[in-house]
Amino acid sequence: MATITSRQPYAHLSEPRGDRSLWIQVIGSARCAESVLDPDDWFPASPKPEIARREAGGAIVICKACPVGAQCLELSLRHRGIGQHGVWGGLMPAEKSARARGTSASS
């Protein structure tokens, strides 16, 4: 496990395809970090996209206004181990899975 120092706070993050700079950008500017939503609001319970979108409505509103929403979504698609859970870049888990497969979430 990498030791995090004050000079290298993101040294533990993977770097393929420029991920370190994306993580730094997202962590530094994401609107969700300032949100007063309950953490559970970011993790809809329903696997059905239309229901999940209603459950996570507050999170989606925050994502739509986020200046790093596209970068957040990109990271969630690159790192499926963490990105498959919850709202990232305004999309539900099923929607992100469908995008990764190149299909529609309703198909």
Domain containing residue 29? 16-100
Q: How many domains does the chain have?
A: 1
CA–CA gap between residue 97 and residue 92 (Å, rounded)? 9
Select the more confidently predicted residue: 63 or 107.
63
Assess if residue 45 is contained within a domain: yes
Q: Does a structural domain hold residue 30?
A: yes
Q: Residue 4 domain-assigned? A: no
State the Cα–Cα distance between residues 18 and 99, nearest whole angstrom.
21
List the structure tokens of 68: 């790093």
Mean pLDDT, to the nearest integer, of 88-94? 90
Asked, for residue 60, whether it belongs to a domain, the answer is: yes
Is 105 contained in some domain? Answer: no
Task: Specify if 23 maps to a domain.
Answer: yes
For the ranges 1-15, 22-36, 61-75, 80-94, the lowest mean pLDDT is seen at: 1-15
Write the CB contacts of 68 (distance below 8 Å, at least 6 apart in sequence). 25, 26, 29, 30
**How many CB atoms sit inside 10 A of residue 52's CB?**
22
Among the listed residues 17, 1, 30, the one whose alpha carbon sits nearest the alpha carbon of residue 78: 17
Q: Is residue 2 domain-resident?
A: no
**What is the model's pTM?**
0.74
Under 8 Å between Cβ of 71 and 22: yes
pLDDT-derived band of residue 103, with 50, 70 and 90 as boundaries?
Answer: confident
Structure-block tokens of residue 59: 């999170």
pLDDT, tens only, 28-83? 999 999 999 999 999 999 988 889 999 999 999 999 999 999 999 999 998 888 88
